[in-house]
Structure 1
Amino acid sequence: MPSQTTEKAFENAIVNHLINGGGYQLGNPANFNRELALDKTVLLHFIQTSQLQAWQKLSEIHGETVEQKFIDRLCQELNLRGMLNVLRYGITDYGVRFKLAFFKPASGLNPDTLALYEQNILTVTQQVHYSTRNQNSVDLLLSINGLPVATVELKNQFTRQDVENAKRQYGSDRDNQELLFQFKRGALVHFAVDPDEAWMTTRIDGGNTRFLALIVDEAHSSQGGETSKKIKEVLTITDLSRAAQEESRSDGNTDENEEDSIRKSMLARGKQPNLSFFAFTATPKAKTLEVFGHLNTQGQPEPFHLYSMRQAIEEGFILDVLQNYTTYKTYFKLTKAIEGDPQIHKQKASRAIARFLSLHPHNLAKKTEIMVEHFRQCVMHKIGGKAKAMLVTASRPHVVRYKDEFDNYLKKQGYEDIKALVAFTTFTDRETGILYTESDINGFGERELPEKFETVEYQLLIVADKYQTGFDQPLLHTMYVDKKLSGVKAVQTLSRLNRLYPGKEDTFILDFANEEQEIVEAFQPYYEQTILASTTNPNRLYDLKSRLEGYQIIWSNEVDAFAKVFFKPPQKTSHQDHSQLHALVDPSVERFKSLSEEQQDEFKNTLGTFIRLYAFLAQIMPFADEDLEKFYAFGRLLQTKLPKRLQSEVFKLKDEVGLEYYRLQKIREGRIVLQKDTESALPPITEAGISREKETQAKLSEIIDILNNRFGTDFTDADKYFFSQIEEELVQNESLSQQAKSNSIQNFKYGFEDIFLTTLIERMEDNQDIFTKIIDDQEFGKAVKEWMLRKVYDRLIQ
C-alpha cells in the first residue's frame, strides 16, 4: 500500500497544516505526564515567560519547591473547578494570581494585552500515551500552554476503517477514569475524524457516549456562497470511471484544462448524491425553503418536518412575545423657520426631516421618560428583580443619543438602580466627524458585553442591528422598539424575549414605530406552516446577464481570457496568475468609471443581484451553464475592484425646520392575536437590480406640509395663538423667572405645573376646544405641559 494512503499520512497531513498555517508547535509526546494529564515542560515555560513577576513572587514564598507547589495547586483547582473554568479565570496560589491562557482582546487598542495573547503556546502532539495502566495512545492531542483541550482519533477508508470505528473506539477503549478523558477535568472535546466526516463529543461515557456531527453553518445566510461550495468540493464523490480519470490526471498522465475545472466548479455548487444538508430554523426565508425544502404535491417547497411557533408556545418551550404589546404613535407639526423657500431634493429632504424629528432632543427625552418610568414601575421587579430590557433603535447615532438621554434622565431623577449599556459597530458620525466605539462608551471590550449585561449591575441594552438576532439572554423581559421592523427581521428581533427562565412568566413590548397590523403580517407566516408560493425562475439569471452586458462594461472576450487563468488546474498555476487576473479585470473597471453616477449605481446593484442569485440558484438548477459560471467568477472579482464613490454630504437641517408641536400618544395595548390553523406562503425571490432613486425637486414648505398631513394634529391658527399667549404670560411671570435661574428643569417643573394650570384656566374662554382637549386627553395634556415647560424654561435661562 502506498504510504500516502495510510492513516499515518492522514495524521501527518493534519499536523503539517496546523503547524504551517494554524500557529501550532509540534509537541513532544514524551513530555506528557500521564498522572497529571498535562505537559509540565510547556506549562512551566509559559508561566515563567509570560508572568515572570508573579513567578518570582511565588518563588520567594515556596523557594526550591515552587514548581512542584505550583503544579500541585493547579491540579487541585483542575479537580475542583474543571479545565474550562481554570482556562478562563486562572488560579491563585498564596495570593499570587496566574493566568493559564490569554484570550484574544476585543480590539488592538492595548498592545500589552495583545502581546500577552501572542505568548500562548498551541501544541499538536502525535501518538500521546495517556494511560497509567497500559500503553494506549490517542492519535492527536491539541493543547494550550501544556493543558489538553482536544483529543482526535483518526481513521482512513483506505485502511478499511472510517469515523464510525473512531466513535466506537472512544466508547469502548477510552476509559473515562483516565484523567485525560475525565469529564470537566480532562480535555474539553473529543473528535472522531476520517477524510469525509468529523464528529465530536464533550463526554466520554462508555456505551452511552453520544457524538454530534459538526455543524457547517447557519441555515439562512451562508449555504449559497463560496464557503459552502468549497465544503462540497472537498466532500463530493464521483463515479468510479470519473474517479479513475481524476486520479490519472493527478499523476500527470492526462492534461486537465480550464473546461474541466469549470465543470468541477459547477458540480460542486449543485446537489450531491452523497451529501445531506439539514437546516434547522424557526424563521425560514424563501431561499432557505427553496434550497432545503421538500416539494409537496403542488410542487411547492415546504419543510420536511414542522415544529411550529404555535406548538412550541402551547407546549411551554418558548414564551409568546405578543401577549403584552403596546404601541405608541408620534404626532408632530413642523414649521419652516427661514424666510426663503428653497428648491431641494425631495427624497433626501424627507429623510433628513424624519431624521431631524427622530433625533430631536424633545422626541428622545419624551420616549426616554416613558421607557425609564415604565421599566421602574412595571418591569424591574419581574423575574425576582432580575428582569432586563432592550431598546432597539433605528441607527447607530440613535444609540449614542439615547444613551446620553438615558444617563441624563437617570441622573436628574436620582435613579441609581438602572444602568444602560450599548451595542453597535464602530462608526464615524457623518455630521460631527466624531468616532464612536462601543467599548469607549461602555468602558470595557465588546466580547465582555454579554457577561457584563447578565450581572445585576446593568438592566438596559441599547442596540442598533447588533444583538437583534442570535442574542440569547433569558433575563430579557421587555423590549422597547423605536425602529421600523418587518418580515423575518421583526420576528427574529422580538423573539429575543421568548427564552424561558425560572420565574419568567410573561414578556412586554412597547413599540414607538410599528403598528399592530404590521407585526401581525410579520409573525403570521411563521406561526404555523410555512411554504413557498412558487420557485425562483432560473431564466432570471439570463435576464440579469443581458442587462449587465447592455452597459458594455463586461466584454465576453475578456471573460473568456479571465476564465483560462482563473480555472487553471492546480498543477498548472503560476505566480503570474494573480497579476494576470487583475490585468483582465481592470479594463472593465476603467469603462465603469465613464458611466454616470446613476448608471454606476444601477450597474453595481444589478451585478450584486446576479452574483447573489447565481450562488443561490446554482444549488438547485436542473442544468449547468459554463458561460454563467465564467461570468459569475469574473463578476465576483470585478465587484471587489469597482471604485467606491464617496457618499454625498448628509443633507443637513439646522435652522431651516423647527418642531412646532409634538405629541406622543398610546394607541393600543394588550395581546396581538395571530390566526390559528392557517398555512402561510412566502413569495419567491423577485428583486432583480435596483434602480437609483430618481431625484425630484420640491419646495421645503411643500415637504413640510406633506409630513404634517401624515403625522400632524389639526391645530388651527387660533390654537397656535392660544399657545403663544400662554407661553408669553408664563415667561413674564416673575416667580417662574426666579425659580428658573436657581433650579434645574426637574426642580423647576414643580413650581411650573401649578402656575401653568392657573394660567390655562384663566384663559380657557379664549379657546374652549383646546382647553377641553388638554384637560380631557391626559396624554395630550401631559405632552402640552412638558412641551411648554421646556420652551418656557429655555427662554428664562437664556
Structure 2
Amino acid sequence: MRLNEESLETLVVRQMVENGWEERAVTDFEPAYAIDLPQLAAFIEATQPDLVDALSLKAATPTRHEFLSRLQGEITRNGVVHVLRKGVDHRQHHVDFFFPTPTPGNSNAAQLFAANRFTITRQVHYSVTAAGLSLDLVAFINGLPVFTFELKNNITKQTFDDAVEQYKRDRDPRELLFQFGRCVAHFALDDQQARFCTHLKGKQSWFLPFDKGWNDGAGNPPNPDGLKTDYLWRQILSPASLANIVENYAQIVTTKNPRTGRKTSSQIFPRYHQLDVVRKLLADVEAAGAGRRYLIQHSAGSGKSNSIAWLAHQLTEAKHGGGNAFGSVIVVTDRVILDSQLKETIKSFMQVGSTVVHADRSGDLRKAIEAGRKIIITTVQKFPYILDDIGKDHRDRTFAIVIDEAHSSQGGKAAAAVSMALATGGAAEDDETVEDTINRIIESKKMLPNASYFAFTATPKNKTLQMFGEPFPYEAGTGYRPFHSYTMKQATQERFIVDVLENFTPVPSYYKLMKTIEDDPEFDTRRASKKLRAFVEGNEHAIRLKAEIMVDHFHSQVIAKHKIGGQARAMVVTSTIPRCIEYFHAISAYLAERKSPYKAIVAFSGEHEYKGFEVTEASLNGFPSKEIADQIREDPYRILVCADKFQTGYDEPLLHTMYVDKTLSSVKAVQTLSRLNRAHPAKHDAFVLDFANTAEDIERAFAPYYRTTVLSQETDPNKLHDLVNELNGYGIYTPETVERFAELYLAGVDREQLDPLLDSCVAEYIEMSEEDDQVAFKGLAKAFTRTYNFLSTVLPFGSPQWEKLSIFLDHLIPKLPAPREDDLSAGILETIDMESYRVEKRESMKIALADDEGELAPVPAAGGGHVTDPELERLSSILQTFNDQFGNIKWTDADRVQRLITEEIPRKVAADESYRNAMANNDPANARVEHDRALARVMLALVSDDTELFKQFSDNEGFKRWLSDAVFRSTYEESP
C-alpha cells in the first residue's frame, strides 16, 4: 500500500470500525439537511418505532420535510450536542436522538445505549450547490454529524497545517455542514499532530492543539503500536469515550454582556490535557474514594476554569464502593467568573439534579451543606471564616474540596478551619478536657480522611507541593510532584498561550543626584540608597518621562501595528497606590496632549489622598469599580494602570502589552507577566517593557515553572525539635506558663486572665541585654509557628506540646516589641536634589528558559533573625556611589550644548507627529502652536541629559523665546 493520504484515510476508518464504528456509503448523506438520513431513520425505527410513520421517515413527503426542517432549526438554535442530549419536540411528539451511557445494572438503559449508531463516512460531498466538493471524513451519531476530518500525511510532505489552511481557504462556513453548532468540532490532523476548531470562520477560524504532549512540550510521544495520532480515533473517539464527551464536556455556552445586553455563543470542546486530567482524577476517585490529595499543575491560560467546572460537575456523580464518593463538592476560588462558568457548564448537562450555590456567608454555606446541595462555591478570602460555622458533626459525610489557584494560604490555619468544621462542626464536647481539645485541634489540622482535595495551580510553591503533591523517591529522600501537569513549555510551544518572554525589553534608569547643602553629614548607606532610589523613581519628572515612553510605545508599536486586529490593550504595573495614581494622571495628561483617541483606567483598592483630595477608582474613572474589567474591553479605554489589582487571576485575551515599574520576583513575577498570555485568534505575540527588572531577574522567576515543578525533599520535622530547644534556651517563658496559657485560652476565658501571662514574658524579652538575642528569639518564634502550622497538616503524627506552644507563641509574638532601630538615614532627602534623569530602552529580547524540570527546595525551618549594623558614610560619598551605580551618563559641556541646540533638538522637534501634520496643512499659526508644544516635550526630556540647559529654558524667558524662534525657523523653513 502506498503511504499517501488515501492510505491514511483507509487506516483511520479501518481502526475506527475495529473499535465499534460502522462505515457507511457516501450516498447516504443528504447535503440539503446535512444528515445521514438512512441512519437517522434506522435509529428511530429501532428505538421509537411509533414515530416512523408519524414522521414519514420512509417516504419523501411534506410531513418528513416538515420534521427535518424542525430538526435543522433546533440544531441551528441550540447546536447538535443539545439535540443529542435533550431531543426535539415536534408537534405532539418528542423525538430522542441519542441514549446516554447506562448506569450499572440498568439493563433497559444498556439496551437503548447499544442502539446508538456511530458511523463514519469517507469523501463526503457536502455541498448542495457545488456537487464536486468533498472532505475526507465525517463522523455521525445516529445520522447527525458530530465531527469532520481533513487528513494529511507527513510522508507526502503535507502536515496538519495544510489541513488547517484547507479548512480556512476551501471550506465555506456558510455551507450547512460547517455552520456554527452543526458539528461538535472539525479536526485537522496528520500522522504526528492534531488540531481542532469548534467554529469555522474562514480565515479567522481558530484551530487549537489536541496533542498529548512529549517531554513536557508540544507534540506526541512515539507510538510503538501505530501512528502518533491514533489515540484520537482509537481512544478519544471510541463510542464509549465519545458518548462521555457528549454527555459531560461538549456544549455551547451563551454569555450576555451586562452593559450592552448583547449575547455571544461559543462552542466548548475539551483540550486533550483537560479531558485527560478530569478522567484520571475521576478514575482515582472511583478506585480510592475520599481522603486523597491531588495537585494539578496547569499553566496559566490553559483553561483551568473549564477543567474545574467539568471536574466539579462529575465529582457529584462519581462512584466508589457502590455509592456516591462525595456528598458535596466545595469549590474554593477568588474568581467570580468561575461561578457563572460552573452554572453555565452544569445547566447544559443531562443530569439536571446537579445544583450550584454560591455561599458568601456562613449561613448560606451551612444551609447549603445541610440541604445536601451538590456544588458549593466559596471564596479564598472567606474560606477559613465561613467553614468555622457550617454546622455540627459532618464526620459521616464525604466532601470534595476543589481549590482554584492553590497556594500555601490554603494550608496551615485555613486548612485547619476547614478540617475542624467538616469533621466536627467546630464544636467541643461538654466533658472535653484540655488534652482532648488539644488532640482534637491537632487532628483537625490533618488532611481529613473524609475529604479529597483537588488543588489547581500554575505555580506551585514548596508548601503546596508537599501538602497536595504525590510523594516519590528522589535522590536520598522523598520528593513531591504534581498528579497531573500541563506545562508552560507545552502551552507556549503549542501556541495555546502566548509566550510572554518572547519580547522582553528592559528599560534601565540612569540618574545623577547632587547635594543641596554645604555640610557633609553621615547617613546609613543601605537605607539611604533605598530612599534615594524611591525618590528618583517617584519624582514627577521621572514618572512623566516614563509615562510618555509608555504612551508613545503603545501608539507606535501596538496601535500602529494593528495588534490583535486593532483591539489590543495594555497594562501598567506600579509599585504602590500613590505611584499608580500619579501614573494614571501622567498617562491621561499625555494622551490628551497627543490628541489620542484613547483613555486610561486606574485600578487600586480603597480611598487615598492625591494633592489634597480623597480619591477612589470610581471618582477617577467616572464609573463603578465593578465595571473596570468590562470597560477596558470597550473604546476609548485601552490602558489599565494597576496597583496590585488585576495582577493575578485576571483573564483578558485582549491584553497585549505590559509596562512594568515594580520589582517582581518568584511566583509574583510569573503571575503578573502571565496576564498577557491569554490566547486570541488574532493575537500572535505579547510585549513587556520593564523599568524595574532585568532579564536575569525574570528568567530566574520563571525557570522553576517552565516544566513540571517538583519538590526536592520534604521538610524535616526534626527541625521543630531544634527550634523548640533553641526557644527554651532563652528563658522567656516556662513550660508551666505555656501549659497554663493554653488551658485558659481553650477554656475561653476573658483576656484579662491571659494578658498577665504574656506580659510577664514580654518583660523578660525586654530585659534581655543583647539586642541580637531579641531579634533571634522573635525570629525563632516566627519560624516555629510558620513551620508547625504547615507540618501539622501533613505529618502522620501530632504533638500536644507543640500545639500548646504554637497557641502560646501565636499570641506572644504580636506583643513583642521590635528592637529599637534608629533610622540613621532620616533627613537625607532634604539634603539632595535630582540633577538629571533618563531612561534607556534596550533591544527587545527573547528570554530562553532552560529545558529542565523545575526544582524547589523544602520549606525552610530556620529562624534567620539578626540585626544589621548600619554602615555610616558621608553624604558626598553616598551620592558618589549612588551616581556611579545608576548614573552612567555623559555630562554636558559647551560643545554638547551647541550640538543639542543646532542638531538634536531641531531634529526631534521636526519629527513630532502633531507638528508635522500642522506643517502639512500650510497653516503657520497652528504650526507654531504645535511646534512650541513639541519643543516643550523635547526640552522636558532634557532633564535626563542636560539639566542646565533645561533650567535655562524653564527659568530664563528671554533664552526660551530665542531658542523657540531659532528652532521654528530651522524646522518650518525646511519643511516641504
Matched, 1:363 2:542: yes
Partner of 2:932: 748
> 1:594, CA displacement in angstroms?
5.6
Could you tell which deviates more after superposition, 689-698 or 492-501?
689-698
CA contact (8 A) 1:324 1:669 kept: yes
> 1:632, CA displacement in angstroms?
0.6
2:842 corresponds to which of 640, 646, 667:
667
Superposition RMSD in Å: 4.7
2:482 corresponds to which of 298, 303, 314:
303
When residues 692 and 438 of structure 1 are mapped into structure 2, their CA distance, relative to the original with a 3 A threshold, is farther
Counterpart Cα distance in 1 of 2:613 and 2:820 = 18
> 1:580, CA displacement in angstroms?
3.0
CA shift digits 1:275-334 (9 cap, x unpaired)? 322221111111111111222222211112221111122334322111222122222222
Could you tell which deviates more after superposition, 664-673 or 583-592?
583-592
Consecutive unaligned residues in structure 1, runs of 5 or more: 1-81, 92-153, 168-174, 203-211, 238-245, 731-735, 737-741, 757-779
Q: What is the letter of the counterpart of residue 448 of structure 1?
A: E
> 1:351, CA displacement in angstroms?
0.9
Q: What is the letter of the counterpart of residue 261 of structure 1?
A: T
CA contact (8 A) 2:505 2:841 kept: yes
CA shift digits 1:404-452 (9 cap, x unpaired)? 22122223333242323232454568xx897654444334443333233
> 1:490, CA displacement in angstroms?
0.8
> 1:688, CA displacement in angstroms?
2.5
Counterpart Cα distance in 2 of 1:781 and 1:164 = 65
Classify the secondary structure of the residue corresponding to 1:472: coil
1:199 corresponds to which of 363, 371, 374:
374
Partner of 2:508: 329
Partner of 1:258: 434
When residues 296 and 213 of structure 1 are mapped into structure 2, their CA distance, relative to the original with a 3 A threshold, is closer
Counterpart Cα distance in 2 of 1:440 and 1:781 = 31
Q: Aligned ranges for residues 573-612 of structure 1 at < 5 Å?
A: 576-592=749-765, 603-612=777-786
CA contact (8 A) 2:400 2:453 kept: no
Counterpart Cα distance in 1 of 2:556 and 2:848 = 26
Counterpart Cα distance in 1 of 2:371 and 2:814 = 33
Matched, 1:471 2:646: no
Classify the secondary structure of the residue corresponding to 1:222: helix
Could you tell which deviates more after superposition, 612-621 or 548-557?
548-557
Counterpart Cα distance in 1 of 2:864 and 2:720 = 11
When residues 539 and 427 of structure 1 are mapped into structure 2, their CA distance, relative to the original with a 3 A threshold, is farther
2:740 corresponds to which of 531, 549, 561:
561
2:790 corresponds to which of 587, 604, 616:
616
CA contact (8 A) 1:332 1:663 kept: yes
Counterpart Cα distance in 2 of 1:692 and 1:433 = 38
CA contact (8 A) 1:322 1:672 kept: yes
Partner of 2:132: none
When residues 552 and 790 of structure 1 are mapped into structure 2, their CA distance, relative to the original with a 3 A threshold, is farther
Matched, 1:231 2:418: yes
Classify the secondary structure of the residue corresponding to 1:332: strand
Classify the secondary structure of the residue corresponding to 1:481: strand
Counterpart Cα distance in 1 of 2:632 and 2:821 = 35
> 1:703, CA displacement in angstroms?
1.2
Counterpart Cα distance in 2 of 1:608 and 1:365 = 42
Classify the secondary structure of the residue corresponding to 1:690: coil
CA contact (8 A) 1:335 1:657 kept: yes
Q: What is the letter of the counterpart of residue 953 of structure 2?
A: Y
Q: Aligned ranges for residues 421-460 of structure 1 at < 5 Å?
A: 421-426=602-607, 437-460=616-639
Counterpart Cα distance in 1 of 2:254 and 2:736 = 60
When residues 604 and 434 of structure 1 are mapped into structure 2, their CA distance, relative to the original with a 3 A threshold, is farther
CA contact (8 A) 2:511 2:944 kept: no
Matched, 1:406 2:601: no
Partner of 1:8: none
CA contact (8 A) 1:352 1:651 kept: no
Partner of 1:105: none
Classify the secondary structure of the residue corresponding to 1:491: helix
Identity %: 34
CA shift digits 1:145-196 (9 cap, x unpaired)? xxxxxxxxx99xxxx99787899xxxxxxx999xxx8999x99999997669
Counterpart Cα distance in 1 of 2:741 and 2:897 = 72
Partner of 2:799: 625
Counterpart Cα distance in 2 of 1:727 and 1:594 = 65
Partner of 2:877: 702
2:458 corresponds to which of 282, 287, 292:
282
Partner of 2:956: 796
Classify the secondary structure of the residue corresponding to 2:514: strand
CA contact (8 A) 1:199 1:213 kept: no
CA contact (8 A) 2:647 2:672 kept: yes
Q: What is the letter of the counterpart of residue 932 of structure 2?
A: F
1:394 corresponds to which of 572, 575, 580:
575
Q: What is the letter of the counterpart of residue 748 of structure 1?
A: D
CA contact (8 A) 1:166 1:193 kept: no
Partner of 2:683: 504
CA contact (8 A) 2:328 2:376 kept: no
Counterpart Cα distance in 2 of 1:433 and 1:465 = 23
Counterpart Cα distance in 2 of 1:374 and 1:485 = 22
Counterpart Cα distance in 1 of 2:606 and 2:781 = 27
Q: What is the letter of the counterpart of residue 419 of structure 1?
A: A
CA shift digits 1:2-37 (9 cap, x unpaired)? xxxxxxxxxxxxxxxxxxxxxxxxxxxxxxxxxxxx
> 1:745, CA displacement in angstroms?
10
When residues 795 and 426 of structure 1 are mapped into structure 2, their CA distance, relative to the original with a 3 A threshold, is same
Counterpart Cα distance in 2 of 1:235 and 1:583 = 35
CA shift digits 1:437-480 (9 cap, x unpaired)? 44443344433332333332321122222221122222211101
Partner of 1:681: 855
> 1:724, CA displacement in angstroms?
7.1
Classify the secondary structure of the residue corresponding to 1:265: helix
Q: What is the letter of the counterpart of residue 886 of structure 2?
A: F
Classify the secondary structure of the residue corresponding to 1:462: strand
Q: What is the letter of the counterpart of residue 713 of structure 1?
A: N
CA contact (8 A) 2:514 2:879 kept: yes
Could you tell which deviates more after superposition, 459-468 or 598-607?
598-607
When residues 474 and 412 of structure 1 are mapped into structure 2, their CA distance, relative to the original with a 3 A threshold, is same
> 1:528, CA displacement in angstroms?
0.8
Counterpart Cα distance in 2 of 1:548 and 1:301 = 30
Partner of 2:271: none
CA shift digits 1:519-570 (9 cap, x unpaired)? 22211211112112222222333444444445544443221111112334xx
Partner of 1:104: none
> 1:752, CA displacement in angstroms?
8.0
When residues 449 and 714 of structure 1 are mapped into structure 2, their CA distance, relative to the original with a 3 A threshold, is closer
Counterpart Cα distance in 1 of 2:626 and 2:504 = 32
> 1:753, CA displacement in angstroms?
10
Classify the secondary structure of the residue corresponding to 1:501: coil
Could you tell which deviates more after superposition, 627-636 or 322-331?
322-331
Q: What is the letter of the counterpart of residue 570 of structure 2?
A: A
TM-score of the pair, normalised by structure 1: 0.62
CA shift digits 1:679-706 (9 cap, x unpaired)? 1211222353433443221111111121
Counterpart Cα distance in 2 of 1:435 and 1:553 = 46
2:598 corresponds to which of 406, 417, 423:
417
Counterpart Cα distance in 2 of 1:587 and 1:458 = 59
When residues 234 and 705 of structure 1 are mapped into structure 2, their CA distance, relative to the original with a 3 A threshold, is same
CA shift digits 1:210-253 (9 cap, x unpaired)? xx95535641032223231122124449xxxxxxxx99x95x6x
Consecutive unaligned residues in structure 2, runs of 5 or more: 1-252, 262-315, 330-345, 378-398, 904-908, 910-925, 959-976
Partner of 1:635: 809
Q: What is the letter of the counterpart of residue 626 of structure 2?
A: R
Counterpart Cα distance in 2 of 1:792 and 1:263 = 77
